[in-house]
C-alpha cells in the first residue's frame, strides 16, 4: 500500500518530460572590454535547449535539426541559420562524455593518471603538435580541463564546479569558467530546477507575421 502510494506521489511530482530550467549570467572579458549577457535557459535532455536572453537584448536562441533559430520578439525578426556542418562550439570537442575516447580520436596519447583522495587527474599529449591536455574528475564529475602548448603555456583552462544534484543521476554545474591567453569567460547558473516544460518551449515556433531571414539556403 505504501509502495503504491509512493509511486503515485512520484508520478505526480516528477514531470513526464524532464526539463531543467534556470537563469544564467555570462561575463566575457577581452582586454579592457567586457560583455555581460543575462537570461534564462531551458534544457530538455536529448531533445532541446532554448536560451531566452533578457539583457542586453530580448532574444531567443534554439536549435532544430541542422538549423539554429534566433528570434527577436521586439524587433519582430527571426533568423534561421542552416549549416551543412554541425554548428561548432569551441571547447565542446574536448568536454563531452568520455573525454578519453574523444582525445584518442583526435590523436592524443594517454600518459598517466594520478589519484589523490577522490580526485583523479588524467594526462594526455599529442605526439605531433606536442600539445598536452589534463583534466580532473571528482566523483565522476569533471572539475577542470587544461590545454597546454609544448612550451608549457596554458592555451585554455576550463573550470566547472558547484554541481547541484537534481536527482535521478543529474548533477548540474552552476559555475563554468574559461580562460585563454586573451579572454576570460564566466557563466553563473542560478535558480536551477526541474520543471514541467512550458508549452512555448516544447512547441517553440516563430509567430506569424515575423520577418524571417534565412541564412544557408542560398
Partner 1 sequence: MKGLTLKVVAGLLALTVIANPVLLNAQEKVNKVDVCAQAKSEANADVNSLLWAGVGFFGQLAGVALAYGIQTDPPASRLLGKSPKYVATYIDCYRKAARDVQFKYSIYGCIGCVSLELIIVVITLM
Binding site for partner 1 (CB under 8 A): 20, 24, 26, 28-31, 33-37, 39, 41, 43, 45-46, 49, 51, 53, 55-57, 59, 61, 63, 68, 70, 72, 75, 77, 79, 81, 83-85, 87-92, 95-98, 141-142, 158, 160, 168-173, 176, 178, 180, 183, 185, 187, 189, 213, 215-216
CB of 63 to partner 1, least distance (A): 8
CB of 209 to partner 1, least distance (A): 16
Helices (H), the chain: 2-13, 99-105, 199-202
Residue 132 or 178 with smaller CB distance to partner 1:
178
Residue 5 or 75 with smaller CB distance to partner 1:
75
C-alpha angle 154/156/161, rounded to 5°? 115
Residue 35 or 114 with smaller CB distance to partner 1:
35
CB of 1 to partner 1, least distance (A): 29
Residue 134 or 184 with smaller CB distance to partner 1:
184
C-alpha angle 190/195/201, rounded to 5°? 95
Cβ-Cβ contacts under 8 Å for 181 (sequence gap 6 or more)? 153, 155
Residue 4 or 101 with smaller CB distance to partner 1:
101
Q: Say if CB 32 and CB 185 are below 8 A apart.
A: no
CB of 78 to partner 1, least distance (A): 9
Q: Say if CB 155 and CB 169 are below 8 A apart.
A: no
Question: b/e map of 61-95 (b: 16 or more CB within 10 Å)?
Answer: bbeeeebbbbbbeeeeebbbbeeeeeeeeeeeebb
Amino acid at each position: 500500500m505504501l509502495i503504491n502510494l509512493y509511486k503515485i506521489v512520484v508520478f505526480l511530482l516528477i514531470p513526464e518530460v524532464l526539463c531543467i530550467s534556470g537563469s544564467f549570467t555570462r561575463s566575457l572579458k577581452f582586454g579592457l572590454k567586457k560583455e555581460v549577457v543575462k537570461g534564462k535557459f531551458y534544457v530538455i535532455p536529448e531533445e532541446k535547449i532554448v536560451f531566452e536572453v533578457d539583457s542586453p537584448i530580448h532574444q531567443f536562441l534554439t536549435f532544430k535539426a541542422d538549423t539554429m533559430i534566433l528570434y527577436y520578439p521586439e524587433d519582430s525578426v527571426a533568423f534561421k541559420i542552416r549549416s551543412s556542418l554541425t554548428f561548432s562550439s569551441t571547447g565542446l570537442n574536448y568536454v563531452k562524455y568520455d573525454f578519453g575516447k574523444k582525445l584518442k580520436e583526435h590523436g592524443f596519447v594517454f600518459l598517466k593518471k594520478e589519484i589523490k583522495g577522490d580526485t583523479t587527474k588524467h594526462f594526455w599529449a599529442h605526439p605531433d603538435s606536442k600539445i598536452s591536455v589534463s583534466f580532473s574528475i571528482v566523483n565522476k564529475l569533471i572539475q577542470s580541463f587544461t590545454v597546454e602548448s609544448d612550451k608549457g603555456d596554458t592555451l585554455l583552462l576550463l573550470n566547472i564546479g558547484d554541481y547541484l544534484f537534481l536527482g535521478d543521476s543529474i548533477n548540474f554545474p552552476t559555475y563554468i569558467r574559461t580562460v585563454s591567453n586573451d579572454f576570460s569567460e564566466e557563466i553563473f547558473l542560478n535558480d536551477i530546477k526541474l520543471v514541467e516544460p512550458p508549452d512555448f518551449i516544447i512547441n517553440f515556433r516563430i509567430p506569424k507575421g515575423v520577418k524571417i531571414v534565412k541564412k544557408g539556403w542560398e
